[in-house]
Amino acid sequence: MFSAVTKQGERVILHPASHTGISGSPPYHCPVCNEEVVLKKGKVRRWHFAHRHHSLCRAAPESEEHLEGKAVLYEWLERQNVSPRLEVFLPDLGRQADILFTWNGGTYAVEYQCASIPPEEAVQRTNDYLSHHIQPLWIYSSDRLRFDRSQRYSIHAFEWTGLREEQAGTRCSALTYLSPAGGRFSFLYPRASLSSAITYADLYTVELSSMSVSGLIQLPSVVQGERTWMQTWLNTKKQWRYSRSRWHLYPDSRYVRVLFADRRSDIPYFPAEAGWPVEGMTHFNTPPHHWQSAVLLSFLDPLPLYTSFSLQTAAAEFCPVAEDILRLKQSPLVNHPVDKALEQYFRLLEKTPLLQKNGDGWKKVNGVYLPASIDEGYKMDKQYFSLLF
Ligand SMILES: [Zn+2]
């Protein structure tokens, strides 16, 4: 920590870069738990206050990585002239924001996170800030970025809490990362997900020196990268159909199977219109052929032929189903993520015989068809692949 409180209740804040003018004399106490803390005047590490060993404080222990990231962000925000305040204790929340600053009339709390935390805790922290009219900015250590050569990222469940929407044009959402040593922000735009664990995403990296605070808050407008992963999509659909062991793995498949069982069918015979990548799909932990089949079977199928519907109607019907039988990610900073995924999915279905665009909404022009055999399903998948992409 860079801050502590003296016996007299006076607040002492170390500037991360210069150590002159420490006001107040020891003993120093932690602003969060009030335990006595020690001033470490490191020659290599930055000066900081540390809890004693075995401290029970929620602010302890703090890794060097965390201290460094916080300092780099603080110095960067100082250069942006937004008068950042380091480690602000918020009594109503019973916690300390890493950095607090105001910009354009809004108050922002930077939460720099290196270690994994339970997703519930991240959601709670986010909602606490929001209820106090503070906008949290989750920034993760770039050491957390895990990916392979085919743009596949493995993103920890809690990291999704920090997903924010781009404000200017595309309204795509992104996660924010920082490399303190490299002096770079990285923005990860999730594009498509196969399951809760695997997400295809585009990564954009910007030097701290060429990034503005508005850019950080509103997120950079970026062009979608080349979707090389699309080439493997048909193969994935093939596995969903033919590999029986796969659909037993998903704990929620039981509920989706009920929808199929009502029609004397099962998941491998899912409609060829289901299981495609659409923007916003990353909000589902449920695999795409499951949730898209749920849209088709629970909402579209019961609808009489030639009925028109709006996104609002569909969302009002489908959202309770989604919350009931599907697994959703917790992204409290994104507005109506399920509606957005639905909208994109219906737009994709416009290219199929199922739907036609009708004003602001759509009209159902064909019934939902369940393939009679797996071979037939996969044959239709191949036709749809060339039709849709
Ligand atoms: Zn403490």
pLDDT by residue (tens digit) across 23-72? 778 889 988 888 899 888 877 778 888 898 888 887 767 788 888 999 99
CA of 9 to the centre of ligand 1 (A): 15
- Model confidence at 321: pLDDT above 80: yes
Instruction: Return the structure tokens found at 364.
Output: 């159902």
Whether 86 and 74 have beta carbons less than 8 Å apart is answered as yes
Distances (CA, A) of 105 to 16, 82, 123, 134, 135: 26, 11, 24, 11, 11
Give the whole-number percent of the chain exceeding pLDDT 90. Answer: 64
Ligand 1 centroid – CA 35 distance (Å): 6
C-alpha span between 135 and 89 (Å, rounded)? 16
Q: What pLDDT is stored for residue 248 in this prediction?
A: 61
Band (200; pLDDT cuts 50, 70, 90): very high
Please report, rounded to a whole number, the percentage of residues in the chain having pLDDT higher than 70. Answer: 96
Residues 123, 125, 129, 131, CA torsion sign: positive
Distance 134 CA to ligand 1 centre (A): 23
How many angstroms separate the alpha carbon of residue 366 from the centre of ligand 1?
Answer: 63
Helix (H) or strand (E) holding 321: helix 311-325
Distance 48 CA to ligand 1 centre (A): 13
**pLDDT > 80? residue 244:** no
Q: Which pLDDT band, with edges at 50, 70 and 90, does 144 fall under?
A: very high
Residue 32 CA, ligand 1 centroid: distance in Å? 5
The Cβ of residue 347 has, within 10 Å, a number of other Cβ atoms equal to: 15
Q: What global pTM score does this model have?
A: 0.89
- Domains plus CATH for the chain? 1-60 (no CATH), 63-218 (3.40.1350.10), 230-388 (no CATH)
Helix 233-242 with 374-388: angle, nearest 10 deg = 160
Per-residue confidence (pLDDT) for residue 254, from 0 to 100: 80
Distance 67 CA to ligand 1 centre (A): 15
CA of 55 to the centre of ligand 1 (A): 7
Averaged confidence pLDDT in the chain: 90
pLDDT for 60: 67
pLDDT, one tens digit per residue, over 359-387 is 999 999 999 999 999 999 999 999 999 99
Tally the C-alpha atoms within 13 A of residue 194's C-alpha that lie toward its C-beta: 19
